[in-house]
A and B are shown apart, each in its own frame.
Chain A
Amino acid sequence: MPYLSLILGRVGKAVIVLLAILVFNFFLIHAAPGDPAAVMAGEAGATDEQFLEDLRERFGLDQPLPVQLWRYMGGVLTLDFGYSYRQQMPVLDLILERLPATLMLTGAAFFISLSLGILAGTLAAMRVKRPSGSLIMGLSLLFYATPLYWVAMMAVLVFSVVLDWLPAYGYATVGAGYTGLAHAGDVALHLILPAVTLGLFFMAVYTRMTRTSMLSVSQQDFVKTARAKGLAPGVIQRRHILRNALLPIITLAGLQAGQMVGGAVLTETVFAWPGIGRLMYEALMQRDYNLLLGIFFFCALLVILFNMLTDVIYRLADPRIKQSAA
């Protein structure tokens, strides 16, 4: 069972990272200026002394720090992320309610950026030192240098305000009461702008990476052999160079998929997309630190899950990597 031990090793590593993030979160709450009870309650507004006293008792804030840390970790491990006093709901419920929308958005953006990025990078690598190749690289540099939230706003301006092609805000048309396929189509229409704007930045990253990777693979000996054998250039590009050049891109994609969750905070804010990114913005506005840290933990969890997934895919894609390397 080579894969079993591999997966167990990965899970063990992930658990350590998550525990470390919990400790980190815990100390962040205590590093916040002011009374941790007030911080948990969302600072202003909850100045009722009796309420704060209840909080202190409930969370054992009068106990020594190690005891508090132990309680906090115990709580999270039993899926208790505390209570959002601002939204009057348990943090976990709030996050789970918003999670599907974020997964849909990041999933779509990931698919768009990876497929278009690899395509553009391949084209750019095949057209080195030609105008079309330079154009692709110029565009990708442009997307790379543009603030994500600003691209989102400009997309709204052009495609919703001026051209009126696509809806600018939200997840579905309010009050339209679509069901079944009509509803799915409506959501898909709302998804286009957020997913494309979130995907553009990452597409630029994949484009540059694919090009660099393809150019470096094309210098290797087996490519020279294939050329000497008289294979058609197209076949060499596709079957020899691209396949090998994709390996480092899988690794990078795993890392970037996690960063996408962070980028979703900006796109979801601009497009009023009801995911955890938007929830994070709301938590910020309301200084709801308990909720903020819960979301932060979930972001990290998603990153780790993505990374583990990438690892498995990587090993399936490249049998040369032995599990002993884990």
Chain B
Amino acid sequence: MNFFKRFAQNRGALIGLIILALVVLLALLAPFLYPDSPWRMVQRPFLAPGEVAGFPLGTDTMGRDVAAGLAHGAWVSLLIGLISTVVALSIGVPLGALAGYFGGKIDDALMRFTEFFQTIPNFALAIVLVAIMEPSTVSIVLAIAIVSWPPVARLVRGEFLSIKHREYVEAARLVGQTHRDIIIKQILPNTLSPVIVLASLMVATAILLESSLSFLGLGDPDTMSWGYMIGAARTVMRQAWWLSVIPGVAILLTVLALNLVGEGLDDALNPQLARAR
């Protein structure tokens, strides 16, 4: 059975993929559907969804279009989720690879370093980092990456430990390949599938983290995000519950979809495990 067939066998993963595709589409279309800034006041504040034609999701406390905020927020969520995961991978993969491949003192030192970052409470560290670097897209991406790389390093190290004594690696060593070549060309490609699965789950966690930071007022002040929308609606929950419900459902669906896709990828890339389950 090929990869796509196995993936499609998992119904949840297919549903997740469809939801994710819709969110991506919304994010890509945002600048065309709502070319105006989502921060602009366009109508009376506190319009309920469907109350006035042209504003299907109503307006917020400042008369801003909720639908426009939702679309632009999708772009921000996906972008920050994706980039911070790439940055976290680019820290975690090399560290894990070096630790697993060379072992000994290098492994000890790198793993102590990783443990240190795992000990520090994630969310508290992210808050402190963003607060001190001043909230901006760059500081948010960096903070999320800094708190999320340790699991990558541990995973890659574990894979390297189990692969480095395989025969094909020994063979590569015998024919005199350099450490660099063995790491990059022989071992790394074989660690790819668990890393891909982990990365898809990390994007989901990163989106949750970003939304929590913007909820606390640590979002980039220039970009509209889902967490900010919920945070701004917190004080008016009694008058306008939909203002907090709508963006919340958007986050929930996106994160859920990514988790489902991650599980589907896991089944498709590790068929032996899937059958045992």
A residues bordering B, Cβ < 8 Å?
17, 20-21, 28-29, 31-33, 128, 141-142, 144-150, 153-154, 156-157, 161, 215, 219, 255, 258-259, 261-263, 265-266, 269-270, 280-281, 284-285, 287, 289, 292-293, 295-296, 299-300, 302-304, 307
Chain B residues with Cβ below 8 Å from A261 are 121, 124
**Given contacts A17-B116, A153-B248, A270-B234, are A299 and B121 in contact (CB under 8 A)?**
yes
Residue picked from A21, A128, A146, most chain B C-beta under 10 Å: A146
Could you tell me the distance between the alpha carbons of A31 and B130 in the complex, rounded to whole angstroms?
Answer: 12
Q: Which residue of A lies closest to B241 (CB)?
A: A157
Could you tell me the distance between the alpha carbons of A302 and B121 in the complex, rounded to whole angstroms?
Answer: 9
Binds A, one of B42-50, B57-65, B153-161, B212-220: B212-220
Q: B125 touching A153 by the CB < 8 A rule? A: no
Q: Closest Cβ of chain A: how far from B36's Cβ, in Å?
A: 27
In the complex, 30 of the A-B residue pairs with CB atoms within 8 angstroms, ordered by the A residue number, are A17-B116, A21-B120, A28-B128, A32-B132, A144-B259, A145-B259, A146-B248, A146-B255, A147-B211, A147-B227, A147-B252, A147-B255, A150-B248, A153-B230, A153-B234, A154-B244, A157-B241, A161-B241, A258-B119, A265-B123, A265-B216, A266-B123, A266-B215, A270-B234, A284-B127, A284-B217, A292-B131, A296-B124, A296-B128, A300-B124
Q: Closest Cβ of chain B: how far from A136's Cβ, in Å?
A: 14
Q: Which residue of B lies closest to A128 (CB)?
A: B277
Could you tell me the distance between the alpha carbons of A218 and B160 in the complex, rounded to whole angstroms?
Answer: 28
Interface of B is mostly: helix
Chain B residues with Cβ below 8 Å from A141 are 256, 259-260
Q: A149 touching B212 by the CB < 8 A rule? A: yes
Chain B residues with Cβ below 8 Å from A296 are 124-125, 127-128
Q: A147 touching B120 by the CB < 8 A rule? A: no
**Given contacts A259-B122, A259-B123, are A147 and B218 in contact (CB under 8 A)?**
no
Q: B252 touching A145 by the CB < 8 A rule? A: yes
Q: Does B134 contact A (CB under 8 A)?
A: yes
Q: Closest Cβ of chain B: how far from A278's Cβ, in Å?
A: 11
Q: Does B87 contact A (CB under 8 A)?
A: no
Chain B residues with Cβ below 8 Å from A148 are 212
**Given contacts A17-B119, A32-B132, A266-B215, are A149 and B230 in contact (CB under 8 A)?**
yes
Chain B residues with Cβ below 8 Å from A157 are 237, 241, 244
Q: B116 touching A262 by the CB < 8 A rule? A: no
What sequence of 0s and 1s flags, for each residue 182-210 of chain B, a beta carbon within 8 Å of any chain A beta carbon? 00000000000000000000001000100
Could you tell me the distance between the alpha carbons of A258 and B123 in the complex, rounded to whole angstroms?
Answer: 10
Q: B132 touching A28 by the CB < 8 A rule? A: yes
Q: Which residue of B lies closest to A257 (CB)?
A: B121
Which residues, 114 to 152 on B, are CB-close (under 8 Å) to A?
116, 118-125, 127-129, 131-134
Could you tell me the distance between the alpha carbons of A32 and B134 in the complex, rounded to whole angstroms?
Answer: 8
From A31, A145, A153, A219, B237 is in contact (CB under 8 Å) with A153
**Given contacts A147-B212, A147-B248, are A31 and B125 in contact (CB under 8 A)?**
no
Q: B133 touching A153 by the CB < 8 A rule? A: no
Could you tell me the distance between the alpha carbons of A128 and B276 in the complex, rounded to whole angstroms?
Answer: 11
Q: Which residue of B lies closest to A134 (CB)?
A: B12
**Given contacts A147-B215, A153-B237, A215-B277, are A263 and B123 in contact (CB under 8 A)?**
yes
Q: Closest Cβ of chain A: how far from B131's Cβ, in Å?
A: 6
Chain A residues with Cβ below 8 Å from B124 are 261-262, 265, 280, 295-296, 299-300
Chain B residues with Cβ below 8 Å from A142 are 252, 256
Q: A145 touching B256 by the CB < 8 A rule? A: yes
Could you tell me the distance between the alpha carbons of A25 and B237 in the complex, rounded to whole angstroms?
Answer: 37
Could you tell me the distance between the alpha carbons of A258 and B116 in the complex, rounded to whole angstroms?
Answer: 13
Chain B residues with Cβ below 8 Å from A128 are 277
Chain B residues with Cβ below 8 Å from A285 are 217
**Given contacts A147-B211, A153-B248, A157-B241, are A303 and B216 in contact (CB under 8 A)?**
no
Chain A residues with Cβ below 8 Å from B248 are 146-147, 150, 153-154
Q: Which residue of A lies closest to B128 (CB)?
A: A296
Could you tell me the distance between the alpha carbons of A266 and B134 in the complex, rounded to whole angstroms?
Answer: 20
From B217, B244, B277, A150 is in contact (CB under 8 Å) with B244
Could you tell me the distance between the alpha carbons of A219 and B251 in the complex, rounded to whole angstroms?
Answer: 37
Q: A284 touching B218 by the CB < 8 A rule? A: yes
From A149, A266, A303, B121 is in contact (CB under 8 Å) with A303
Q: Does B5 contact A (CB under 8 A)?
A: no
Q: A300 touching B119 by the CB < 8 A rule? A: yes
Apart from A269-B216, A284-B127, what 10 extra A-B contacts exist at CB < 8 Å?
Answer: A31-B133, A142-B252, A146-B248, A147-B211, A150-B248, A153-B237, A154-B248, A263-B123, A289-B132, A300-B121
Which residues, 32 to 72 on B, are CB-close (under 8 Å) to A?
none
Chain A residues with Cβ below 8 Å from B237 are 153, 156-157, 161
Q: Closest Cβ of chain A: how far from B276's Cβ, in Å?
A: 8
From A280, A289, A307, B119 is in contact (CB under 8 Å) with A307
Chain B residues with Cβ below 8 Å from A265 are 123-124, 127, 216
